[in-house]
Amino acid sequence: MRTHRIGLVVPSSNITVETEMPAILSRHPTAEFSFHATRMRMNTVSPAGLAAMNAQRERCILEVGDASPEVILYACLVAIMAGGPGEHQRVESAVAEQLAAGGSDARVRSSAGALVEALKALDAKRIALVMPYTRPLARQVVGYLEAEGFDIPDWCALEVADNNEVGRIASDDVMKAARSIDRTGLDALVISCCVQMPSLRLVQPAEDEFGLPVISAATAGAYSILRSLGLDVNIQGAGSLLRTTTPVQP
């Protein structure tokens, strides 16, 4: 069985991506994966903190590129969405150009772009979001997704600015927020619109409870990685997004 090498670019205070992404992809029936991370300093989720983190991107791409990954996931959703509509396309293109200049043909994905990709794969137009961010940042995320063509009638922001605390948000608090949302007419619920807020164990139970597709930034990222590698999307217990056995193309 072939092992696919995955590069991760994460905030320095993130403890969730390197836990949830391997947990998801380890369930794949026909492929194995290894994960190789580089970190950008960031502790406070604020415009200034995100800008300072993004300024470290080129260094981090050089570092993780040395591991020769097949796919690199730029794993900080709000850092990209705070850059304004279409920023995931600009960042992914800039990273790909930087890698190509160094002789790497690694595929590049971002958590922001992966979420858009996943929602479109579900044909979801009317969606709701659970986010850990302060309300001003949460509104930027809402505006970003609306610019991508999604209707967002309701959303919940837990207003946690300390990224270390985001990684410790309790499952009960996430589910309480999800249950507070008006789910009338929704096509999908994003139960964690953040790669740091733990949610993997909630995706399938929430989908069963609410009776509609439920995804997270992590399951969307896994979906995008599998698609980029041309692998079947066939992972159980992580929501309907990851339960198709139809072969996909990168």
| Catalytic one of 60, 156, 193, 194 | 194
For residues 211 and 217, give the distance between their C-alpha atoms in angstroms, rounded to a whole number.
Answer: 19
The answer to the question of whether 76 is labelled as a binding residue is yes
Q: Which helix (H) or strand (E) holds 15?
A: none
Backbone angles phi, psi at 32, to 5 degrees: -120, 155
Hey, what are 243's tokens? 């339960």
Backbone angles phi, psi at 211, to 5 degrees: 70, 30
The answer to the question of whether 164 is labelled as a binding residue is no
The answer to the question of whether 133 is labelled as a binding residue is yes
The answer to the question of whether 163 is labelled as a binding residue is yes
All residues at 6 or more sequence positions from 37 whose CB lies less than 8 Å from its CB, including other chains: 7, 8, 9, 10, 17, 18, 64
The answer to the question of whether 249 is labelled as a binding residue is no
The answer to the question of whether 156 is labelled as a binding residue is no
Q: Which helix (H) or strand (E) holds 150?
A: none
For residues 70 and 214, give the distance between their C-alpha atoms in angstroms, rounded to a whole number.
Answer: 28
| Catalytic one of 60, 76, 156, 193 | 76
Residue 161 burial by CB count (10 A; 0-12/13-18/19+): exposed, middle or buried? middle
Known catalytic residue: 76? yes
State whether residue 102 is helix, strand or coil: coil
The answer to the question of whether 223 is labelled as a binding residue is no
The answer to the question of whether 77 is labelled as a binding residue is yes
Distances in Å between the Cα of 141 and the Cα atoms of 110, 133, 138 are 14, 9, 5
| β pairing state of 3-11 and 32-40 | parallel
* Bind-site residues for substrate: 14, 76-78, 133, 163, 195-196
Q: Which residues are annotated as a binding site?
A: 14, 76-78, 133, 163, 195-196
Active-site annotation, residues: 76, 194
